[in-house]
Structure 1
Amino acid sequence: MSYIIGIIGLFVFMGLAWIASSNRKMVKIRPIIIMLVLQLVFGYILLNTGAGNVFVGSISKGFNQLLVYAAEGITFVFGGLVNPEESTFFMNVLLPIVFISALIGILQYWRILPFLIKYIGIALSKVNGLGKLESYNAVASAVLGQSEVFISLKKQLGLLPRHRLYTLCASAMSTVSMSIVGSYMTMLEPRYVVTALVLNLFGGFIIALLINPYDVDPEQDMIEEEKGEKQSFFEMLGEYIMDGFKVAVVVAAMLIGFVALIAMINGVFDAVFGINFQELLGYVFAPFAFLMGVPWSQAIDAGSIMATKMVSNEFVAMQTLDSGVYQLSDRVTAIVSVFLVSFANFSSIGIIAGAVKGLNEKQGNTVAKFGLKLLYGATLVSFLSATIVGLLY
């Protein structure tokens, strides 16, 4: 029965994208089917095979070692502040972003990441029915981040029509940057994080093909990376270290504000209506959780965590899931965990619009206008990926 519900869920979520399509007649079925098959194949390998376990285990081990190295620097600076009896979120989850950001900068400086991003993107463009620029952007977003990726496309931004700009922004919101993947792995099982990264990549293309179909003129489909004055190695390293620290501080500030606001709203709702705000949202999201493969007995709790992610951010939702407040089965935990791994939330609209506006004011205003549609599409990507996990787990 769960398989039937999951299959229905796939059609419902893709149907919701099709309903909002800008041009239903241009939707390309063949690449959608190909990428659905790829999602199922890669999802099965990562979740259910020995090879997948080895692959995920290697990635997890690598990130754990990076976190150990990061802890050396954190302990040196903040060691006297850490309470050995408690885990400090800022120290253990957010500050490692600084070290991982530095590593990304080194790989960028040595031209390793640009080479991989460019040619993986070109390979993906052969199967996804989109342009090379869109494919490049999807891979680059998963490495550089939802705001930083637009710097690498600065020269193209002013030339992009509205429909192509939407796809680029949707990719940025549907993925997560490598600089914070290690942080996610401290709260979720690594195999769910890795699985979500792969599924969201293809899911982003599927939803884009449904909600925003178009053809690309090959002559206008050039990948031209932004190249500025060559920095010295240590100039670059200092810049990426500071960027990583800024990300950690911004996320910390967002968490302080959102966690406090949710606590206040929960208190008000509980006092007035006898039900807190997150529980109320759980009822709204419960039908969608059910279509993802969550049993109805756990759908309200799962829906509450999913809604928390959308109205606040993924870190708040992951903390809620990790806290043990909701008693979810292993299968439901897998489904919800994959749903949480993306930047699909209201605050991301402002982050992406602001990043684009900083590079091109006119295009930034365009992004702000389709912000809600952007969140709608990115959320459908999360639904689609989580439903695939529900079918395979």
Structure 2
Amino acid sequence: RISWEKCTNDTFYLWEGLCTIAQPFSVLNVFCKTHSEAIKLIVLGLIGEAYIGYFIAACVLNFQRALALFVINCVVVFFVVYELIKRFWGKAIIKWFSPVGACFKGHWKWMKWYMHQIKLAILAGLVAWLVLDTSRRSEQLVSFAGVCMFVVILFICSKTHRAVSWRAVFWGLGLQFVLGIFIIRTDPGFQAFKWLGGQVQIFLDYTKAGSGFMFGNKLINEAFAFQALPIVIFFSCVMSILYYLGVMQVLILKIAWLMQVTMGTTATESLSVAGNIFVGQKTEAPLLIRPYLGDMTNSEMHTVMTGGLATIAGSVLGAYISFGIDASSLIAASVMAAPCALGLSKLVYPETELSKFKDMDKVDMESGEEQNVLEAASNGASAAVGLVANIAANLIAFIAVLEFINAALSWFGGMVDYPELSFQIICSYIFKPIAFMMGVSWDEAFLVAELLGTKIFLNEFVAFERLSVYKKNRIDGSDEWINGKKQWLSIRAETISTYALCGFANFSSVGIILGGLSSMAPHRKRDLANTVLRALLTGACVSMINACIAGILYVPRGEVDCISFLNGSIFNVTSYNIKTCCNELFGSMFIALPAQLLL
């Protein structure tokens, strides 16, 4: 039998041995704690040096392949340097420039006059450029007249004409126009957004890995529900991660700051409209300013709703792209719509009350409650389930209702020998003048008007689905006219239609946005109900003005040189290009020699 004393002695010697072995680790632990900051800097320095070496090697080996990495690094470095300068030298820089500010204040009257002259000179230059540019293409002049028409309509519908902030209106339209020039007209801007759209398309294609695993490749290639709707879940997951990391907050705050400084709008409304570029109008963007909704003025509430109805959510962007809609045009339309929505909102519902949130310093963006990236990703994916169900339910219901309405209208039309009567035909006649004023040719205005009516009275999903059919017909080289009906749109009309449809301004969204905001500020429900229809009108007009700007600035790009193309041995373009080239080169023969061709 082992004695208790022996067990005690053995245990003591064992513990003493372990302590002897662990003594160096204890010393190491103390050393690490004492020099933790230095060790952290050394490790970060080594990682940084390794990454810089990797980055340089990637750029040297193939810069085109590393372009995305280069852009990401430039953006990150810019924001890091900006934050470092602001944190360590911000107050010193302000102090250094304070004498300049004092000098400006002392001569503010003259400075204001000079600034006014500079603005007039810039405006005169833009007008002169527009006159010279549109003189070569009459359809551009029509688009310019369309902008003026929509602004006049909104001014007529203004609640208080005398209180209109023309600074906000002109800055909103000006920022939209400048963004349009950069994106549509300049080669760097056009290529940048084309590249960005391509990267978004590539990124969203990774959804197929998850949806293919769940539903099988056959289903995701054939059914819309398994092809487009999983993209919404994936995008929502990514946005939630970016929000957790603080990336979205930085982007939204900087854009909101720019719009507030230029247009003189309040912090809350600028923040909400800037957020609408990235997140949805149902509840996501209003969540950014949820603590302040109850104390906002009616004009600010109107701006919040207008911003939501005039833009699209990032979560549904992928679904539209899955239809085949041009990604760069969708991104550009959403970015351009934000300042225009903010400016025109102040035209329709001017500020007549004293806002409590004039300064951005008084507004803080709420952070998520997630503890780590995995929880943020999971919450983002789960939150999208309701959105996906809502999209699917609305599409099923609206397409079924549309089919029923068309059957009923056909029955009524058949009574007077016009069985072709349909909802699309009625919308085409109602909105055809509006489509024409956006810069679409009269022959194509009928189809674009149909899309506008579908978007406003049903929803933009159904309209984009129809636009994708027209685009597919064009790319496949289908006959332009079949039984007296046009089967596809020109590239110019497609682009204008994309900008016009890019927004949530439809009657179904009115209930969604009203319900979402009312749940956050129940005591403001009556104010919201009184202003929501004005917001719907403003949001719809913002999308149409966006389309007009696209019509003014659009120039054909990437057109095929028909002679070189037909002489070549590699046919790597679409059937539409082949047909266009044949019509261009041989059309005169078909017109000049009809009798011979018939023979």
Instruction: Write the distance in 2 (CA, Å) between the matches of 1:231 and 1:75.
Output: 30
Q: 1:223 to 1:326 in 2, by over 3 A?
A: farther
Instruction: Write the distance in 1 (CA, Å) between the matches of 2:289 and 2:535.
Output: 19
The answer for the alignment partner of 1:171 in structure 2 is: 307
The answer for the alignment partner of 2:54 in structure 1 is: none
* Aligned: 1:7 with 2:168: no
The answer for the alignment partner of 2:540 in structure 1 is: 379
Residue pair 1:130, 1:216 contacting (<8 A) in 2 also: no
TM-score, structure 2 normalization: 0.62
| 1:20 aligned partner, one-letter code | C
Residue among 303, 308, 313 paired with 2:449: 303
* Aligned: 1:127 with 2:262: yes
Unaligned runs of 5+ in 1: none
Residue pair 2:212, 2:220 contacting (<8 A) in 1 also: no
* Aligned: 1:257 with 2:397: yes
* Aligned: 1:225 with 2:361: no
Secondary structure at 1:322 match in 2: helix
Q: What are the residue-to-residue correspondences of 1:278-297 with 2, within 5 Å?
A: 278-297=424-443
Larger Rg: 2
Instruction: Write the distance in 1 (CA, Å) between the matches of 2:508 and 2:427.
Output: 18
Q: 1:240 to 1:277 in 2, by over 3 A?
A: same
Q: 1:197 to 1:227 in 2, by over 3 A?
A: closer
Unaligned runs of 5+ in 2: 1-137, 414-418, 471-485, 555-599
Residue pair 2:259, 2:339 contacting (<8 A) in 1 also: no
Residue among 374, 379, 386 paired with 1:234: 374
Q: What are the residue-to-residue correspondences of 1:183-194 with 2, within 5 Å?
A: 183-187=319-323, 188-194=325-331
Q: 1:80 to 1:207 in 2, by over 3 A?
A: same
Across the two proteins, how many residue pairs are aligned to each other?
A: 391
The answer for the alignment partner of 1:181 in structure 2 is: 317
Residue pair 1:137, 1:149 contacting (<8 A) in 2 also: yes
Residue among 156, 175, 195 paired with 1:38: 175
Q: Which moved more, 1:103-112 or 1:365-374?
A: 365-374
Residue pair 1:353, 1:365 contacting (<8 A) in 2 also: no
Instruction: Write the distance in 1 (CA, Å) between the matches of 2:335 and 2:426.
Output: 32
Residue among 114, 130, 153 paired with 2:289: 153
Residue among 315, 327, 347 paired with 2:488: 327
Q: 1:308 to 1:53 in 2, by over 3 A?
A: same
Could you give the per-residue CA deviations for residues 180-226 of structure 1, whole angstroms, max 9, x where no partner exists?
A: 21222223112221221122112202311210122675753332333
Instruction: Write the distance in 1 (CA, Å) between the matches of 2:404 and 2:459.
Output: 17
Instruction: Write the distance in 2 (CA, Å) between the matches of 1:124 and 1:62.
Output: 27
Higher RCO, 1 or 2 (CA under 8 Å, sep at least 6)? Answer: 1
The answer for the alignment partner of 2:504 in structure 1 is: 343
Q: 1:329 to 1:148 in 2, by over 3 A?
A: same
Q: CA deviation at 1:149?
A: 1.4
Instruction: Write the distance in 1 (CA, Å) between the matches of 2:319 and 2:143.
Output: 30
Residue among 253, 266, 277 paired with 2:406: 266
Residue pair 1:47, 1:191 contacting (<8 A) in 2 also: no
TM-score, structure 1 normalization: 0.94
Residue pair 2:296, 2:355 contacting (<8 A) in 1 also: no
Instruction: Write the distance in 2 (CA, Å) between the matches of 1:94 and 1:18.
Output: 39
Alignment RMSD, CA only?
2.0
Q: Which moved more, 1:203-212 or 1:363-372?
A: 363-372
Residue among 91, 95, 116 paired with 2:230: 95
Q: 1:334 to 1:249 in 2, by over 3 A?
A: same
The answer for the alignment partner of 1:50 in structure 2 is: 187
Q: 1:101 to 1:195 in 2, by over 3 A?
A: same
Q: Which moved more, 1:381-390 or 1:36-45?
A: 36-45
Q: Which moved more, 1:116-125 or 1:339-348?
A: 116-125
Residue pair 2:406, 2:422 contacting (<8 A) in 1 also: yes
